[in-house]
Structure 1
Amino acid sequence: MLLRFTVANFASVRDEQELSAIAADRHDDIAVRAVPRTQHHVLPALGIFGPNASGKSNIVDALAFARSAVVNSHQRWRPNDPIPRRPFQLDPVREKEPSEFGIEFVAEGIRYQYGFVCDSVEFHEEWLYGYPEGRQRRLFERKRGTSIRFGQGLQGERKLIERLLRPNSLYLSAAAANGHAQLLPVYDWFAKHLRVAVEGNAHSRLQETRHLLEEHDAQAVLHLLRYADLGVGNVRFSDRKLQPEHAAKLADLLSVIEGEKISPSEISMGVDVEVTHLVGDREFELPMELESSGTQTWLALAGPVINALATGDVLVVDELDARLHHHLASQLVRLFQEPETNPNGAQLVFNSHDHSLLGHDTARLRRDQVWFTEKEDGATRCFPLTDYKVRSVENVEKRYLSGRYGAVPFFDEELLSAIAVEVSC
């Protein structure tokens, strides 16, 4: 479970901002989970709302970057590669300063605090603390220019891994690459249990849907597709293959590039997807590209959603409302909110500018599940609805639209008048 996330000096985020999944109120009717060895509970869903360009997606991007650094920095980033962080660029001083990321989470029943500080060249700091018995225990602390300080509880080849460390790789990433058994559960939380759905990985998410359907006969995926009332009866996938001689040549070339043997059978030029629709007593198959954008979006989300619900993972979705009707978006939130459909305590973190989700009876977002973003002097501020006194959730949408909580766009009527003058000339 994800408990808290903090970020500073990344994209439009200048000063440190926090997103917390710790429940501020008691909720007996949604799928909250107890945080081990604390009095706290964690929420099953968090929604970030705000106008366009307020930084909603940058909060998601920051979390995705932190995940990527853990998973990829040691094995996939080359020694001289720059660290692909994006500092705040509207302040010349801040742009040259490092970025900072912190994540508090629970993996295999143990609460952890992990974080790092980096510029575009190297990691300045990195730390990991565990709370196996409720009290903080240091696993390691790394600071640029000094040896890593290890806690007494961290065993294994600690020093050997430190010698293999590069300035542009994280110790946690290097430890996992070298099979450090004690740190693998922490690494696996990032690699396997923190899922991020953005437009750029729609293809891999579609492949996840395919894998569930073909390898596991996951009827829950088909049920989810049919539940959306998109007219989908079934889905069929097929790989587009090259001619054998062309596949062999391409496999040889890729083997040299990747440094490992690639079989011609692994070469695919893409995937054909056909969606079956039942009209009366007849079936019709349509290629994926002829389906509505809503159907395509739902199909690419179906696999990750079912996997997250089945394994209790954290699913982070950028622009949940993009190409989805707000009723369908609210039903997706409901899957994570309801204890019946979320028995394993999965979490959904999403951003949206669909204000109707705030007042939708299906999503049933509580006040501590609602966060807002807005710009102040060009920098993103992220704040919870609990900063305001709200008697009930029923009128949150109306108050939000009226500007009661901020985080709404400002429309300059003088500019509209100027446009009218220009177009009438």
Structure 2
Amino acid sequence: MLHRYAFSNFQSFRERTAVSWLLDGRVPAAVWSGQATTAARVSTVMAVIGPNASGKTALLKPILFLDWFMRHSFGTDPSAPLPLRPHAAAQNEPTEFEVEADFDGRLWRYTLRCTPQRVLHEALYVKHERMRYVFVREWNESSQSYDVKQQDFGLAPAEARKVRPNASLIATAAQYGVPLAQRLVNSHISTNIHQFGRVVNDTDQLVRAATHFATEESQRQQLVRLLAAWDLGLSDLQVREMEAVLPDGKTEKFWLPFGIHRAAEGVSFELPFALESSGTQGAFVLLGRLLPVLAAGGLAVIDEFENDLHPHMLEPILDLFANPVTNPHRAQLLFTCHAMEVLNILHKSQVMLVEKDENNESSAWRLDSVDGIRSDDNFYAKYMAGAFGAVPQL
């Protein structure tokens, strides 16, 4: 489970910003959380709230960048810059990241300092009695090369020194068959965010979700039960393999979803999902991202979680991460949201507030860090009145 992450000089965030999922003994046992393998108590959901253009999506992107860097950076073009953007007022300063999570029954910490041109520092630590380094990689300006030290990591020293400036030591070691690195790159994150923002729900996203459910029958059945229970007018949902003829005469196969509806007097009819309501399509695509994470464990990172959904649907979807029956592997959900009703659902420790100042610098803080806030406060009413900040200045 993810315990916390922190970063600085990334997009609209210039100062160090931390997002912590850890819960202390003052948080009621009823709050949605899981017991990590390291015995820490960790939240399973985290909402991010704030005005438009405040930096909400930017708060999510560091964990996605780290996921890409640690798992996939080995395959990038050797001459390509790292896909990150420092704050506009600190273009010549490095960007820093730090993340802590439990894995293999222990707490791990990963740190990275880099510019778009190169990695300056990369390190992995694991906690025994205290934190101990697994590897530390430092850019040596005088020799124009990397100094690397390892403890029980397993990458040949000659190969470690040759890791490209735009690639992770972990991603590279996985290619060389290092067992720990190969386990680390098998982490699972599902998201609707790419480098430039949120992926729009369109036909491609319907096909993507249908392709997943075509091979996961148990999840398709769970999908049908959920959509039918949410009163979307569906009694079943089928995915079918279709064939299209391309301009060059070749054929291409793909999967499409169809909604089965029951009308009066036992009559049923079906609709291609492209003709279903935007809310039904949105729920289908969203569950196509959430159910795989719930089934296997991992993290779902969703921008504009409630997009096209009625606010009353927030709680039953979030409940999927609260219930050990639907979340047996302690999967977690990190999401942005404009539906302030979420403040009446989550605990104050499960809400991050974001705002941007007149210098175009974003800042973020957890709701339970606000002085004087009580667990029995009406968070919705107080937020709408501006008591917590992070509201539009109109």
Question: Same fold per TM (> 0.5)?
Answer: yes
CA distance in 2, matches of 1:21, 1:380: 20
Which position in structure 1 is the counterpart of 2:237?
234
Q: Which moved more, 1:134-143 or 1:398-407?
A: 134-143
Which position in structure 1 is the counterpart of 2:277?
292
Change (3 A) 1:200 1:51: same
Q: How does 1:133-212 map to 2 (within 5 A)?
A: 133-145=128-140, 147-154=146-153, 156-189=154-187, 193-198=188-193, 199-200=198-199, 203=204, 207-212=208-213
Which position in structure 2 is the counterpart of 1:421?
none
Which position in structure 2 is the counterpart of 1:372?
353
Q: Deviations over 1:129-154 (max 9, x none)?
A: 012x3421211111112544333322
Cα offset for 1:85?
A: 0.6
Which position in structure 2 is the counterpart of 1:350?
335
Which position in structure 1 is the counterpart of 2:28?
27
Cα offset for 1:333?
A: 1.3
CA distance in 2, matches of 1:116, 1:37: 23
SS at match of 2:381: helix
Q: Deviations over 1:59-103 (max 9, x none)?
A: 11222222222222111x1111121111111x1xx0221211211
Q: Which moved more, 1:311-320 or 1:211-220?
A: 211-220
Match of 1:222 among 221, 224, 232: 224
Q: How does 1:202-281 map to 2 (within 5 A)?
A: 203=204, 207-218=208-219, 219-232=221-234, 233-242=236-245, 246-247=249-250, 267-268=252-253, 271-280=255-264, 281=266
SS at match of 1:74: helix
| Paired residue type of 2:388 | Y
Which position in structure 1 is the counterpart of 2:53?
53
SS at match of 2:185: helix
Which position in structure 1 is the counterpart of 2:391?
408
| Paired residue type of 2:382 | R
CA distance in 1, matches of 2:49, 2:389: 11
Identity of aligned residues (%): 28
Change (3 A) 1:215 1:356: closer
Cα offset for 1:212?
A: 3.2
Change (3 A) 1:201 1:353: closer
The answer to whether the Cα contact below 8 Å between 1:31 and 1:342 also exists between their aligned partners in 2 is: no
Q: Deviations over 1:8-60 (max 9, x none)?
A: 1111111111111001333322442234445x310111111111111111111
Which position in structure 2 is the counterpart of 1:130?
126
CA distance in 2, matches of 1:32, 1:240: 44
The answer to whether the Cα contact below 8 Å between 2:99 and 2:111 also exists between their aligned partners in 1 is: yes
TM-score (norm 1): 0.82
Structure 1 residue ranges without an equivalent (≥5): 248-263, 412-425
CA distance in 2, matches of 1:135, 1:106: 14
CA distance in 2, matches of 1:204, 1:72: 22
| Paired residue type of 2:163 | L
Which position in structure 2 is the counterpart of 1:82?
81
Structure 2 residue ranges without an equivalent (≥5): none
Match of 2:98 among 96, 102, 127: 102
Change (3 A) 1:58 1:136: same
CA distance in 1, matches of 2:366, 2:373: 12
CA distance in 2, matches of 1:385, 1:312: 26
The answer to whether the Cα contact below 8 Å between 2:137 and 2:148 also exists between their aligned partners in 1 is: yes
CA distance in 2, matches of 1:220, 1:211: 13
Cα offset for 1:205?
A: 7.7
Which position in structure 2 is the counterpart of 1:258?
none
Aligned residues: 378
The answer to whether the Cα contact below 8 Å between 1:206 and 1:301 also exists between their aligned partners in 2 is: no
CA distance in 1, matches of 2:331, 2:122: 27
| Coordinate RMSD, CA, aligned | 2.3
The answer to whether the Cα contact below 8 Å between 1:206 and 1:299 also exists between their aligned partners in 2 is: no
Task: Work out whether 1:113 is the aligned partner of 2:94.
Answer: no
Cα offset for 1:159?
A: 1.7
Q: Deviations over 1:278-318 (max 9, x none)?
A: 22322222222222221111111213322222222211111
CA distance in 2, matches of 1:350, 1:118: 26
| Paired residue type of 1:108 | D
Change (3 A) 1:402 1:16: same
CA distance in 2, matches of 1:222, 1:357: 25
Cα offset for 1:186?
A: 1.9
CA distance in 1, matches of 2:105, 2:307: 35
The answer to whether the Cα contact below 8 Å between 1:206 and 1:303 also exists between their aligned partners in 2 is: no
| Paired residue type of 1:403 | G
